[in-house]
Chains A and B, each alone.
Chain A
Amino acid sequence: MDTDIGALTVIFTEFYYWITVPLMFLIHVGFCMYEVGASRRKNHLHTLMKNTMLIPLVTITFFFFGWWIYFAFPNGPFITGGLVENTSALPWSEIMGPHLGGPPVNDADAVPLGNAAWARLNGVFWAAFLLFSWTAASIVSGAVIERIRSGAFWILAVLIGSVMWIIDAAWGWHPDGWMVTQLGYHDAYASGVIHAIAGGFALGILVPLGPRLGKFAPDGTPRNINPHNKWLVTIGLFLIYTGFWGFYVACNVPIIATGDIGMAEGYFTATTIYLTPTTLSAIVVNFLMSLSGGLIGGYIISRGDAFWVYSGGLAGIIAASAGNDLYHPIQALLIGAVGAICAFKLHFWVERRFKIDDAVGAVAVHGYAGCIGLVIAGFLLWGHPATAGYYEDVAVITPWGQFAGAVIMFWVLGFLPAFVVSNILKSMGMLRIPEAVELAGLDISADLADEMDAIEVSEADIAEARRLGLLT
């Protein structure tokens, strides 16, 4: 911050990440609309509140321990090394509060003089990662609507949002993460680290939670429990697309000197989270092409069903995200279409075969499309370096590394912890609402109260009309 160019770079970077936060905020407006629309009217207010309250809970827990996990866990720990010491991300670190980059006041703090840049950037990085954390929890939220207890969901939201996804980020979305350096894992825009893990986590809850009452006929045939407002669902998905722009931008580092990342000196570049070069032009075009592939694939496979066309667009972006820093736009287009078609087919196959009631197709659109995207990246990007220039021991992208990554994201860090914790909550009678309440609707008390209010107001209006001689 003591030279013009240094100050401009820091301030630009600060602003760059800041702008991604309100953009990604739109993802959550979209998720709220989407889930409220997808639920039946008798549950819509509780559905809204279930999704809304994950925001403050994931926020505070991400402050308390999630941010620290990202910096401490790249080695596992105990896979390629121990915990990485980092005092800056601890909740009691001085730079977690407003800080101008000067020397530490407390002896335990590790912000040295001359690291003014990090003191200014820590907060915006934290906020960008926090919005990813909210996204992981929101993805899970849709699958479990209309029968999960809100309290149970909020415990699970903290688990996925502030623990499991951030462990996977330390492992596979960090330039020094062991999955990157040992497996050549490449997942630039989070096919696996957000979407596959959230899809697997949702499935891990759905198994013990069970289907909604009336979802399956006695012979096992699934019934369609339709959204009460399909327009709200689709405009919600449209807003999620809009927020996804912010997500893509936040996944990049805007500007860095090539000499600082082990490449030849003398240039500047944008990079992925792995500190490997890319450009905003590349990701803008690939985002649009993979969205288009998904919309087209979704339209064809669902014969124009609005819900599955919009979901297909999302699945398309998610499938291509692992390699959208590198793909040719037509590759991104085709991968998008494949992702959408696979998500549609797998959703209904799993529903019929295993009697899984995923109310919004979250496991398919995020989980299966994310996994498929990782594996496709393993083939299409085979041999490309996964590690940054400062790693002499180059790890390359391979189909087996990507497949292993998909298994780790979906099953090990996603499905398994959700399955265990959901079963614990179930054994304590805390997972699911009573059946009578499920039939009457979660909003029954609020609806009855509203009805009483309306009757009272109506009677008052009649009395007023009589007083004014308008009614006899």
Chain B
Amino acid sequence: MPSIQFLSMTIVETWVGADMSQIGPIYPMVGSEVILFFIGIVFWLGFHFAQHGIESRELQADEEAAKTPKILNRVLSKETEHY
């Protein structure tokens, strides 16, 4: 395992005279890929949980508005307007 320079996030030390056949990954924090994967999974699943909450609250508010006859009548009468 190549040594990582103090205060460097990358394993590429210089491009001067660099041998392409010896250079593999060039992204920061090589070796943290599994941790990054788990962070990604949490990010993804977190979206679904957060979105479920947002949507449930929105649908609840929409349902209250929709049950107002004045609003519902206005929406339904507008449906033929643009044809």
Q: How many A residues, CB 8 Å from partner? A: 49
Contact B40 A42, beta carbon cutoff 8 Å? no
- B43's nearest neighbour on chain A, judged by CB, is A60
B11 to chain A, nearest CB (A): 7
Known A94-B25, A98-B25, A101-B20: A149·B11 in contact at CB below 8 Å? no
Inter-chain contacts of A99 with B (CB < 8 A): 24-26
Partner of A100, one of B20, B47, B58, B75: B20
- B29's nearest neighbour on chain A, judged by CB, is A97
Contact B2 A437, beta carbon cutoff 8 Å? no
Partner of A60, one of B33, B40, B62: B40
Partner of B75, one of A92, A150, A444: A444
When chains A and B are docked, how far (Å) is the Cα of A150 from the Cα of B58?
12
- Any A CB within 8 A of the CB of B9: no
A45 to chain B, nearest CB (A): 12
Inter-chain contacts of B13 with A (CB < 8 A): none
Contact A151 B24, beta carbon cutoff 8 Å? no
A159 to chain B, nearest CB (A): 12
Contact B63 A436, beta carbon cutoff 8 Å? yes
Partner of B59, one of A100, A228, A437: A437
Interface residue ranges of A418-449 to B (CB < 8 Å):
430, 433-434, 436-437, 439-442, 444-445, 448
Contact A105 B11, beta carbon cutoff 8 Å? yes
B5 to chain A, nearest CB (A): 15
When chains A and B are docked, how far (Å) is the Cα of A442 from the Cα of B62?
8
Contact B79 A42, beta carbon cutoff 8 Å? yes
Interface residue ranges of A18-70 to B (CB < 8 Å):
40-42, 57, 60-61, 63-64
- Any A CB within 8 A of the CB of B14: no
When chains A and B are docked, how far (Å) is the Cα of A436 from the Cα of B59?
10
Q: How many B residues, CB 8 Å from partner? A: 42
Contact A94 B20, beta carbon cutoff 8 Å? no
Contact A441 B21, beta carbon cutoff 8 Å? no
- A1's nearest neighbour on chain B, judged by CB, is B20
- Any A CB within 8 A of the CB of B7: no
Contact A102 B22, beta carbon cutoff 8 Å? yes
Contact A440 B44, beta carbon cutoff 8 Å? no
- B61's nearest neighbour on chain A, judged by CB, is A445
B22 to chain A, nearest CB (A): 5
- Any B CB within 8 A of the CB of A111: yes
B49 to chain A, nearest CB (A): 10
- A63's nearest neighbour on chain B, judged by CB, is B40
- Any B CB within 8 A of the CB of A304: no
B28 to chain A, nearest CB (A): 9
A39 to chain B, nearest CB (A): 12
Known A436-B66, A440-B65: A57·B44 in contact at CB below 8 Å? yes
When chains A and B are docked, how far (Å) is the Cα of A106 from the Cα of B47?
31
- Any B CB within 8 A of the CB of A130: no
Interface residue ranges of B50-74 to A (CB < 8 Å):
51-52, 55, 58-59, 61-63, 65-67, 71-72
Contact B66 A437, beta carbon cutoff 8 Å? yes
B40 to chain A, nearest CB (A): 6
Contact A226 B24, beta carbon cutoff 8 Å? no
Partner of B33, one of A92, A111, A445: A92
Inter-chain contacts of B33 with A (CB < 8 A): 91-94, 96-97, 106
- B2's nearest neighbour on chain A, judged by CB, is A105
Inter-chain contacts of A151 with B (CB < 8 A): 48, 51-52, 55
- B71's nearest neighbour on chain A, judged by CB, is A440
Inter-chain contacts of A155 with B (CB < 8 A): 48
Contact B79 A436, beta carbon cutoff 8 Å? no
Contact B72 A439, beta carbon cutoff 8 Å? yes
Inter-chain contacts of A116 with B (CB < 8 A): 20-21
Q: Give the one of B2, B25, B34, B40 with max A CB within 10 A.
A: B25
- Any B CB within 8 A of the CB of A2: yes
B46 to chain A, nearest CB (A): 11
Contact B20 A92, beta carbon cutoff 8 Å? no
Inter-chain contacts of A250 with B (CB < 8 A): none
Interface residue ranges of A181-240 to B (CB < 8 Å):
226, 228
Contact B47 A57, beta carbon cutoff 8 Å? yes
- Any B CB within 8 A of the CB of A119: yes
- A440's nearest neighbour on chain B, judged by CB, is B66
Contact A2 B21, beta carbon cutoff 8 Å? yes
A429 to chain B, nearest CB (A): 10
12 contacts between A and B (CB under 8 A): A97-B27, A98-B25, A101-B21, A104-B24, A106-B30, A106-B33, A119-B24, A150-B55, A436-B63, A439-B72, A439-B76, A440-B62
**With A100-B24, A430-B52 already in contact, 12 other A-B pairs whose C-beta atoms are closer than 8 Å:** A42-B75, A91-B37, A92-B33, A98-B26, A100-B23, A100-B26, A105-B1, A116-B20, A149-B55, A439-B76, A442-B62, A444-B62
| Interface pairs A-B: 5 shortest CB-CB | A440-B66, A92-B33, A436-B66, A102-B24, A97-B27
Residues of chain B touching chain A, judged by Cβ–Cβ distance below 8 Å, are: 1-2, 11, 20-27, 30-31, 33-34, 36-37, 40-41, 43-44, 47-48, 51-52, 55, 58-59, 61-63, 65-67, 71-72, 75-76, 78-79, 82-83
